[in-house]
Amino acid sequence: MFKNSFTEEIKGMVFSVDLMLALIIITVILGISADAMDIASSKMEEYSHASSMERITCESADMLIETPGSPENWEELRDLNGVTPGLAEINPDTGEIQPKTLNIRKINRLKEYYDELINGRVLPPYCNSTLVIYPVDESLEPIIVDNNSVESDSTEIMVVNRTVLCNSINTSVLVFIKDVKDDSYLLEPEGLGEKCPHDGVNGSSKHSKVDYRNRKPGWICCYFRVTQDILNSTDFYIITEPASVDDQAACWMIDRPENITENTNSFKNSPIPVNGRLKECMGNESTAVLWLHVFSSGNPDQTFNTYLAGFPKGTPPEKVKVQYLNPQPCYFVLKVWV
């Protein structure tokens, strides 16, 4: 009787110990599972936040690059209320957006009012950002639209890098004479029916057309319109490409039918300022049609491009470069963080 009671008591104790061990193991497993769930939840939250920030950054970059903004001429408005910025260039002839090409006037306007135009209109108001456009050609300066320092406690910074075309300076080209080596170039420009004023009358020398095919020297002549207002806001230069002209006979002149000149000027290895000559030709008139005449020896191995180009008034001489006359490949770098 006593033996059976003792045996049952031992069995009860073993059961209690087993139960306690089982409860301890279950508690440990639940604790580990809870930690794992917390870690997984934290990872999912971090991933969701990173994914959301990446989406916001990409969509914001695409909005700036692929749209001209609303309204399309927002960069010309004084009142920016209701404006949604976009930087895309619009082809003035077709009215269509030029793919991946940015408008420097829009960029400069965005630079002036960056926080006002970006926060709450392009990016959520709780986001911080920087925007810099780096030309692929390292000899050209980057366009710093906004370059606020990244906050030190920011753990995540989203970066979007897009390849675009962009002109760093708001330049204009009045005349472009291409190094044509065949007979396709017209002496008389189309449009206004203008003809080179050097036609041999009144004692002036006749400007016969250059003939590269037969290596005969001659001229290429183009007209352009200019106004006193443009001269007051723009510095004009004659620029060649390449900068060094090998043709020793090459020269240029600017005149108008009412004031023909026979004085020629040599090309240099640097841009040639011509505002003084333009004002001299215009006199007191508010607008005029002038002519640029370029002479060549006719050697097809020594051809060169000639530009009559305008830069904003006061542009530093080191920035007067042929690269600024056409959009250049650039890296559009947008950084976003909270």
Residue 191 or residue 262, greater confidence: 262
Residue 84 pLDDT > 50: yes
Residues 22, 27, 28, CA angle at the centre, nearest 5°? 100
Instruction: Indicate the pTM of the whole model.
Output: 0.74
Residue type, 160: V
Nearest to 274 by CA among 254, 294, 296: 254
Of 14-18, 74-78, 272-276, 279-283, minimum mean pLDDT range:
14-18
Residue 215 pLDDT > 60: yes
- Which pLDDT score is estimated for 185? 43
- DSSP one-letter code for 20: H
Residue 22 pLDDT > 80: no
Question: If pLDDT is split at 50, 70 and 90, which confidence band does 35 have?
Answer: low
Residue 234 pLDDT > 80: yes
Q: CA torsion angle for 178, 323, 89, 224 (degrees, to 10)?
A: -40
Mean pLDDT (the chain, rounded): 85
- Which pLDDT score is estimated for 33? 62
Whether the Cβ atoms of residue 137 and residue 116 lie closer than 8 Å to each other: no
Spatial separation of the C-alpha atoms in residues 118 and 137, rounded to whole Å = 28
Mean pLDDT of 139-166: 84
Spatial separation of the C-alpha atoms in residues 84 and 283, rounded to whole Å = 44
Whether the Cβ atoms of residue 155 and residue 200 lie closer than 8 Å to each other: no
- DSSP one-letter code for 103: -
- Which pLDDT score is estimated for 186? 41
b/e 213-238 (16+ beta carbons within 10 angstroms → b): eeeebbbbbbbbebeeeebeebbbbb
Mean pLDDT of 318-336: 94
- Which pLDDT score is estimated for 190? 39
Mean pLDDT of 307-331: 94
Mean pLDDT of 242-254: 93
pLDDT digits (tens, 9 = 90+) for 113-137: 999 999 999 999 989 999 999 999 9
Whether the Cβ atoms of residue 299 and residue 219 lie closer than 8 Å to each other: no
**ω into residue 242 within 30 of 0, thus cis?**
yes
Residue 216 pLDDT > 70: yes
φ/ψ of 331, rounded to 5, equals -105, 120
Residue type, 61: A
- Which pLDDT score is estimated for 97? 93
Mean pLDDT of 161-168: 94
Mean pLDDT of 146-170: 83
φ/ψ of 31, rounded to 5, equals -65, -45
Of 37-41, 106-110, 278-282, minimum mean pLDDT range:
37-41
Residue 297 pLDDT > 90: yes
Question: If pLDDT is split at 50, 70 and 90, which confidence band does 338 have?
Answer: confident
Strand order in the sheet with 158-166: 88-90, 97-102, 158-166, 328-337, 128-135, 143-146
Residue 11 pLDDT > 60: no
